[in-house]
Amino acid sequence: MIAYFVRRLLYAIPILLGVNVLTFALFFLVNTPDDMARMQLGNRRVTQEAIEQWKADRGYNRPVFWHAAQAGSAKLTDTLFFDSTQRLFTFDFGKSDAGRDISEDLRQRMWPSLVIALPSLLLGLGCALSAALVFAWLAGSRLDFWGGVICVGMMSISGLFYIIGGQWLLAKLWRIAPISGYGDGLEVARFVLLPVLVSVLAGLGGMVRWYRALLLEELGKDYVRTARAKGLPDGLVMWAHVLRNALIPVLTGVVVLLPSLFMGALITEAFFAIPGLGSYTIEALQAQDFAAVRVMVFLGSLLYIVGLLLTDLSYVLVDPRVRLE
Amino acid sequence: MPLLLLSLTGCGERALNDPYPAADAGRAILYTTFQERPKHLDPTSSYSENEAAIIAQIYEPLVQYHFLKRPYVLAPLTATAVPAPQYFDAAGKRLPDDAPDEQVKRVVYRISIQPGIQFQPHPAFARGADQAYRYHGPAARLPTPFKTLADFPQTGTRELEAADYVYQIKRLADPRLHSPIVSFMGRYIKGLTALQTALEKAPTVPDLRELELDGARVIDRYTLEIELTEKYPQFVYWLAMPFFAPVPWEADQFYAQPGMAERNLSLDWHPVGTGPFMLTENNPNRRMVLSRNPNFKHETYPAEGAPDDAEAGLLADAGQSLPLLDAVHFQLEKEDIPEWSKFLQGYFDASPIAPDGFDQAVRIAPDGSVELTPEMQARKLRLAVTTQTSTSYIGFNMLDPVVGGASERARKLRQALSIAVDVEEMISIFSNGRGVPAQGPIPPGIFGFEDGEAGINPVVYDWQQGRAVRKPLAAAQALLSEAGYAGGKDPATGEALTLNFDAAAAGPDAKPLFNWYRKQFAKLGLRLVIRLTDYNRFQDKMQHGSAQIYAWGWNADYPDPENFLFLLYGPNGKVAHQGENASNYSNPEFDRLFVTMRGMPSGPARQALVKQMLAIVRDDAPWLWGTHPQAYALAHQWVKNVKPNLMARNTLKYRRIDAARRATLRREWNAPVWWPVWTLGAALLITGWLARRSWRKRQQARLA
């Protein structure tokens, strides 16, 4: 298994390089370093000299991929891509184009993202599994039918509607939670309530339908019929056998998400003024802050790869029949 | 859930939706917002409104705009008087104030500052028993570990000196700080460009105190001299901007130490000033907190203002020591909807009207005046309508072969378009009526602007029944025919003349506006092609002069017509000189008058000159003109001393909050509604009961 993981980690290097090449190509296709400089320096009274100075200070005056004026390997190494990729792979994120230390910003902003994402995931998982169990258990009943209708309805509604509707109902009309913001210490709980509730609700319909389908598939299997034939109570069959087996795809689906929880939710964080990494990414994109954008893309890819590795590991842990070769 | 919420809010002491800590209740804190995190808080680099809202409360330039008086006048801030220039000729002989520009070879501002002004407490000033600086310099011992400024146990202060202003002027030339005005100021301040060149070539960062700058000199502890190479009467307005605020050298030395930048500790994020407030929490991801500077003691609320100010209660605090607030909290609020809702709940003290909240907040009375809706009146909100000192315009690229140039054909084509595009309709449809049609580049409130018949653009408007009325379409059609495009047909092709409008794509909301533009041009039989592009490409087109018709705008730096007329001054052309004349307009007569006008004191002679200049540009029509936007701002009843001042950014020191009244009303407006929670709980219980019943029935059926 160790060999498998080493191999997978080695595969990650070309993937990350490829992602980095794409990030550079796409970013510089849309923005020139002059545009970035103008964005940072403003549009009023800025001269070309000031733009050139800004670019020189941040190394944006060098070619992106190929430095034709250099000789030998320097054609490749004296480029923006080589230099910044080298630093990315050693986790030396440097400064953003706005002049702030990126690592420090990441350290500060990953916690609010996690504070929203982790409870949303756990609560969503708990609610969805509970509802799916009930619906699967009572499959074909009126409760199951109307539950299905409601779930499909919930799936059809845009996530933005949940956010605006949640703010309108809970914070504005009923006035039981702050509409947006973030607090210190225990105060955080008051601010987390609404975004977590909204995140859970927004994802609930789809999750319930998926989990119900998984549970129903399990319910139709031979071992369930055998258990029932042996006279096991329905509750025991559901909890001890069906749920346990149905959890394999659920868990592996969740594990892949775990590392990216740090990365935050773009729209939720913006609407609820949560100072997390989701809003950090949006701000970086809006400000054409390439230094911050490339770090966020790199981290996103890296965490996704880590998530996939953890998924493989979780297969082994939850299903003893699986072997990683 | 209700119990959890109640326990978190201190068992009902404050509303459940109150976003602020209980400790802040009852304090005179002004709550306001910011949507975009500031890029720079260093006064050398900062040049945007959202940054000025913060740093103008911290840094004190030599002069400021009087809070209440109108028209805008400068008043001393740290200076003992508003600086006046002294003019000298090439031989060093003093010249009179009205000396012709060409005779003036040296301009000197000798400025005295008030003694006894202290900087805010800061670790950069902390000294040990031996008087050596504790946290920088040879005897520095930094605390380990340190993450924020709060980790430095000792702070200190020192008196403001003339040298701090000179130091800051030198900082403008520091290439690492990217001051946006260095090139512009380099034209005027003696030796600034040379200093910039020297600093660019310097292998290491030198101590700016050791470098000489001819244009900024310390005369004594409280006196400095600034020397310009030519006459520039508007320079005194620049002295009211943060670019010319004092920066203590200790702060630069302190922040330059290893380990500071890695923790985002820099002057760009942690300013050090002498103003009424100091930045005590700088979390641009969440909130910025300005707290009262304990060392600020040198200013009181003004005792005189405009004629109506006493009646409006704006002089009630006359003579009170400033600031009148304990703190100002700038909360990050990215979206309009939550911001507007929180304002209505009383959690923000003042707010612009969100686009979605316009109908909820104001209505247009039958006589055309704007008033608050009954809902807002019941809350005793106050509405301030201000015409901005800015101009949003549609411009023609004068380098373009079709719409540009000085030919009669092109001039008449531009004039026809100026008449045909119904700006009044545009304001009504797209700005909810919030704007004033522009009669020229100068907005209301700036010297040179004339109201009434004398101020209309006679090319576009007629004066009828006491108001400006846009000329009929027939007048535009006649001009178009005279230009050789009868019926909008291009004689070269025999088809409708095609014109191009270059714009930066601004989301789906912009589509109706672009359609509207097309319809306006179609009224003359012209075909308008909207060439949408991203903002970067749009900027490129403007830089290279490849746009044909475009939209642009300018916001006043200072209350002088020069700051708007320079947008049409030939040597300021964007393509040739990288200036702000985006239309690349050039008219020798206009340029000649501009040079004379900019050096004159405001008075009838200058007004006459401005009038001549306006007549030229109205006739040449390098712009299709546009609007002076209006801002509608709301404030709650507990906010006192609110008077819009479009020039001053440092007005938070005058603001007062009736915190007790605010706390009462917040509780009244935000009583929680619990029945939905109980109903939801009951619905869940019933669903559970139904599920259980259904399951039992199923069990029984199976057993049977």
Question: Is omega for the bond preceding B121 within 30 degrees of 0, making it cis?
Answer: no
Residues 17-46 of A with CB under 8 A from B: 30-32, 34-35, 38, 40-46
Nearest to B30 by CA among B10, B60, B54: B54
Shortest distance, CA A193 to any CA of chain B (angstroms)? 9
**Chain B touched by A172 (CB under 8 Å):** yes
Question: Is the CB of A138 less than 8 angstroms away from the CB of B37?
Answer: no
Chain A hits for B677, Cβ within 8 Å: 174, 176
Structure tokens at A300: 């996103």
pLDDT at residue B7 in the model: 55
Shortest distance, CA A88 to any CA of chain B (angstroms)? 16
Q: Which of A172, A177, A283 sits opposite B37 (nearest CB)?
A: A283
Chain B hits for A176, Cβ within 8 Å: 2, 5, 16-17, 672-674, 677
Shortest distance, CA B475 to any CA of chain A (angstroms)? 37
**Bridge-based pairing state of the strands B382-387 and B623-635:** antiparallel
pLDDT at residue B242 in the model: 95
Shortest distance, CA A8 to any CA of chain B (angstroms)? 33
Burial B402-422 (b: 16+ CB within 10 A, else e): bbbeeeeebbbbbbbbbbbbb
Residues 305-334 of B with CB under 8 A from A: 331-334
Percent composition of chain B: helix, strand, coil (DSSP 3-state, to 5): 35, 20, 45
Cα–Cα distance for residue pair A80/B356, rounded to 1 Å: 44
Structure tokens at A238: 């559901």
**Chain B touched by A108 (CB under 8 Å):** yes
The ipTM estimated for the assembled molecules is 0.79
Shortest distance, CA B334 to any CA of chain A (angstroms)? 6
* Number of neighbours of residue A115 by Cβ within 10 angstroms: 19
What's the one-letter identity of residue A254? V
pLDDT at residue B3 in the model: 53
The secondary structure of A135-163 as a DSSP string is HHHTTTSHHHHHHHHHHHHHHHS-HHHHH
pLDDT at residue A38 in the model: 79
Q: Which of B8, B268, B337 sits opposite A167 (nearest CB)?
A: B337
Question: Is the CB of A42 less than 8 angstroms away from the CB of B183?
Answer: no
Phi, psi of A136 (to 5 degrees): -70, -40
Give the residue from chain A lying closest to B580, CA to CA: A45
pLDDT digits over B3-51, tens only? 555 555 554 567 889 999 888 888 999 999 988 888 889 999 988 888 9
Cα–Cα distance for residue pair A212/A67, rounded to 1 Å: 57
**Chain A touched by B679 (CB under 8 Å):** no
Give the residue from chain B lying closest to A166, CA to CA: B338
Q: Which residues are registered as beta bridge partners of B216?
A: B226
| B597 vs A261 pLDDT, higher one | B597
Shortest distance, CA B184 to any CA of chain A (angstroms)? 7
- Helix B510-522 and helix B408-420, axial crossing angle in degrees, nearest 10: 120
Question: Is the CB of A186 less than 8 angstroms away from the CB of B8?
Answer: yes
Chain B hits for A134, Cβ within 8 Å: 691
pLDDT at residue B507 in the model: 66
Structure tokens at B530: 């909207």
Cα–Cα distance for residue pair B230/B186, rounded to 1 Å: 11
**Chain B touched by A188 (CB under 8 Å):** no
**Chain B touched by A187 (CB under 8 Å):** yes
Give the residue from chain B lying closest to A134, CA to CA: B691
Q: Which of A53, A175, A190 sits opposite B673 (nearest CB)?
A: A175
Interface test with B, best of A38, A41, A45, A149 (most B CBs within 10 A): A45
Question: Is the CB of A35 less than 8 angstroms away from the CB of B539?
Answer: yes
Nearest to B177 by CA among B238, B252, B239: B252
pLDDT at residue B627 in the model: 95
The secondary structure of B66-92 as a DSSP string is -SS-SS--EEESSBSS---EEEE-TT-
**Chain B touched by A180 (CB under 8 Å):** yes
pLDDT at residue A303 in the model: 87
Distance of CA B622 to the CA centre of its chain: 26
Using the predicted structure, report yes or no on whether residue A172 has a pLDDT greater than 80: yes
Question: Is the CB of B18 less than 8 angstroms away from the CB of A178?
Answer: yes
pLDDT at residue B12 in the model: 55
Q: With beta carbons less than 8 A apart as the criterion, state whether A36 and A322 touch.
A: no
Phi, psi of B384 (to 5 degrees): -115, 120
Chain B hits for A280, Cβ within 8 Å: 285
pLDDT along chain B (704 residues), means of 10: 53 78 90 88 90 95 95 94 95 90 93 96 94 90 89 95 97 91 92 93 87 95 96 93 96 93 90 96 89 92 93 94 96 87 93 80 79 91 91 96 94 96 92 90 93 94 93 96 94 92 77 92 95 80 91 91 95 90 96 91 92 96 93 93 92 96 93 91 91 81 68
pLDDT digits over A201-260, tens only? 998 999 999 999 999 998 889 998 898 888 888 778 888 888 888 888 888 778 777 776
Question: Is the CB of A181 less than 8 angstroms away from the CB of B182?
Answer: no
Shortest distance, CA B264 to any CA of chain A (angstroms)? 6
SS3 A251: helix
Question: Is the CB of A187 less than 8 angstroms away from the CB of B690?
Answer: no
Question: Is the CB of B262 less than 8 angstroms away from the CB of A182?
Answer: no
Q: Which of A31, A171, A275 sits opposite B341 (nearest CB)?
A: A171
Structure tokens at A192: 């987390």
Question: Is the CB of B47 less than 8 angstroms away from the CB of A42?
Answer: yes
Q: Alpha-carbon torsion A26, A30, A36, A40, what sign? A: negative
Chain A hits for B695, Cβ within 8 Å: 137-138, 234
Nearest to B180 by CA among B45, B29, B346: B45
pLDDT at residue B257 in the model: 92
**Chain A touched by B704 (CB under 8 Å):** no
Using the predicted structure, report yes or no on whether residue A100 has a pLDDT greater than 80: yes
Q: Which of B21, B266, B539 sits opposite A183 (nearest CB)?
A: B21
Q: Which of B17, B176, B539 sits opposite A175 (nearest CB)?
A: B17
Residues 6 or more apart whose Cβ sits within 8 Å of residue B594: B562, B565, B566, B569, B613
Residues 200-259 of B with CB under 8 A from A: 200
pTM, 2 dp:
0.85
Chain A hits for B10, Cβ within 8 Å: none
B174, with CB counted inside 10 A (0-12, 13-18, 19+), is buried
Shortest distance, CA A14 to any CA of chain B (angstroms)? 30
**Chain B touched by A92 (CB under 8 Å):** no
Question: Is omega for the bond preceding B76 within 30 degrees of 0, making it cis?
Answer: no
Which single residue is written with the structure tokens 């603001």?
B655
Structure tokens at A21: 């090449």
What's the number of CA atoms in the CB half-sphere (13 Å) around residue B559?
20
Q: Which of A191, A273, A287 sits opposite B332 (nearest CB)?
A: A273
Structure tokens at B671: 């009583």
Distance of CA B324 to the CA centre of its chain: 23
Q: Which of B9, B39, B332 sits opposite A40 (nearest CB)?
A: B39
**Chain B touched by A178 (CB under 8 Å):** yes
pLDDT digits over A26-53, tens only? 888 777 788 888 777 776 777 777 888 8
Question: Is the CB of A53 less than 8 angstroms away from the CB of B175?
Answer: yes
pLDDT at residue B8 in the model: 54
Shortest distance, CA A188 to any CA of chain B (angstroms)? 10
Chain B hits for A163, Cβ within 8 Å: none
Torsion angle (degrees, nearest 10) of CA B203, B206, B210, B213 = 70
SS3 B291: strand
Give the residue from chain A lying closest to B534, CA to CA: A30
pLDDT at residue B460 in the model: 96
Cα–Cα distance for residue pair B152/B137, rounded to 1 Å: 15
Question: Is the CB of B695 less than 8 angstroms away from the CB of A234?
Answer: yes
Chain A hits for B694, Cβ within 8 Å: 138, 141-143
Spell out the long-range contacts of A279-282 with Cβ–Cβ below 8 A and sequence spacing 24 or more: A279/A109, A279/B285, A279/B334, A280/A105, A280/A106, A280/A109, A280/B285
Cα–Cα distance for residue pair A110/B660, rounded to 1 Å: 37
Question: Is the CB of B285 less than 8 angstroms away from the CB of A279?
Answer: yes
